[in-house]
Amino acid sequence: MTFSKGSAWSPEHMCASSKRRPRVSPELLGALRAGKADLRRQREKADLREKIRVVLELQRLCLPLIERRRRLTEWERPWAITP
């Protein structure tokens, strides 16, 4: 397969476009940091029952993805409990 020079799929075009990534604005960066700090405060205030519920929910989401690639070890199996 050959590419014409200047085509969108040419190696020259792909290299040139990857070097020109837009910079994140300071306003966006500040908003992202503030949101992250707010989320952290909410998680710190949560009671233990809520924290365990979140861990179990994340297990139910992530472990099937891991299990598709390989067999889960004994300690990776999800807990058979509900909060």
Q: Is residue 36 part of a domain?
A: no
The predicted pLDDT at position 47 comes to 93
Residue 7: inside a domain: no
CA atoms within 13 A on the CB side of 47: 2
Residue indicated by tokens 């067999």? 71
Q: What pTM value is reported for the model? A: 0.53
For residue range 48-81, what is the model confidence (pLDDT) as tens digits? Answer: 999 988 988 888 888 888 889 999 888 887 777 7
Whole-angstrom distance, CA of residue 82 vs CA of residue 52? 9
Asked if the structure places residue 24 within a domain, the reply is: no
Residue 42 lies in a domain: no
Question: 71: domain range?
Answer: 47-83
How many structural domains does the chain have?
1
